[in-house]
Structure 1
């Protein structure tokens, strides 16, 4: 099925590129498939091997994905055997389980050898832990962004689908790796060939690197009033130090009564209740995605003390903060 044989035939046999995937238990199968299948498709379309894919794990012969499927892997030590052009870490789930010194050491060795390194979904967190994202633009799945920034305050992930910055390749996960793989194939094989690969996968809408990972604010809140959207955006950005109703109204040029009317008409709630919900949902995310003590999470979401936070949290979610963390760990929940 060499659709572009005239193009590919000009490549020497030695041009096969080896791409490695380091899989952590609970990695998202969708993200892995979206990242790997375009390279397999490229081989099929070219009618010759352009890419060779290899999978690595810490110890076991297989690694289980989030929904239970197992992928056969080579040991990490095999990364030192033979050339690897790029190695991408696939991680999902709970950052507290990502303390993987063996993987960190392996990534640093590969970096010294000049191997291109990347992370998919939560994979950038491991690159950060290995000290390999300094002075690099990068992204991570939006669910893990807060946890990464708390753990590595000197780093700031971009809210992008994928980022390619020289020898670092990072991607938010989900189906975004399709866009990332298209960019990498285009980088090497040209736009025409990359388009053929994407068409073969029915990947007709190719996202740009800077495209959003999540639905826009208007879609998420089902709100289209520009001033109210501005208020909601400010609420999301100020969970640690919430603004007063008076200060928020002044910032958007409204009276407090006008602000109240906006929330009543478009959100069917009050300013205070919506702000509290946003802060509590951010706290819930911190509980699942960071190892911060509960007291620090309370302060990070604008509560004066842990007891007040716990009362509000239980009233909203029906369980105390400590139970959310226990349930999350026991379920092995992966994203």
Structure 2
């Protein structure tokens, strides 16, 4: 008999872009309605590099939350070659930040201030190892001679594995893994490394944005890859392996910036991620692993307790109504279209209800 409803602990999002200003105010409610906590990406313009900047950004986020929402932003710092190790340590000790983000310079949106010479950040990484503060990595090299479809695998060999050998106690999250090489590396490495997986990389391969014309709203970084890689990533997500957990990498851009001669990378999924994931896990016969991926493994890696609140999922016969676009002043943001009907809806359970 097929499952028509199930309940999980309220999920968290371990990789989220909220932007700032009007865009922040327009998208934050989609996250706070679905997730209890989220790791907030620091790649604003200018980036969130210091404790003072992180505290200011945290206040912006709290001010933008819909009234009554109890969402908790988990802040990060943007790692640069001049980052002060003691500022990082003090930010962590105060509880202000939960991790530091490494962007190779030029790897993705607003990453121009990122790291070019990895040796220049060794003092920060040493201090992070001492205080057990996780390093989040955008795992791609940016060398122009390296094919964009190979940049994750090359990053593992050239950067990540040597880094882990030099700092064996540094906890690392390899974010938005997109390849079978990335999955295998995380799965077979000694403890201390984990990976976030996005909703869209479980659903689309490179055909989605290249076949039948360029489709900019499926363009993201890292780019979606061959079907063999999508299947490896999807198998990792639905396996129940605690090293893999949800990080949506939901990244809103205005349609004008996406639909241009040099379109921005990013897919907006915060509003419908959980509906999409319920479909994916049901399709793979893995609904019993959904809670581990969305609600349990992430908190365990970060040393946090799972959320006490529960979400009940109910399967309905008619598709869930979902907007195709979000309005932000005079602009719009396109919502991720998974290419299938969303039949799973969800709601917070009442106190004492399971």
Scaled by the length of structure 2, the TM-score of the pair is 0.28
Bigger relative CO (Cα 8 Å, ≥ 6 apart): 2
Pair member with larger Rg: 1
Scaled by the length of structure 1, the TM-score of the pair is 0.29
* Structure with greater strand percent: 2
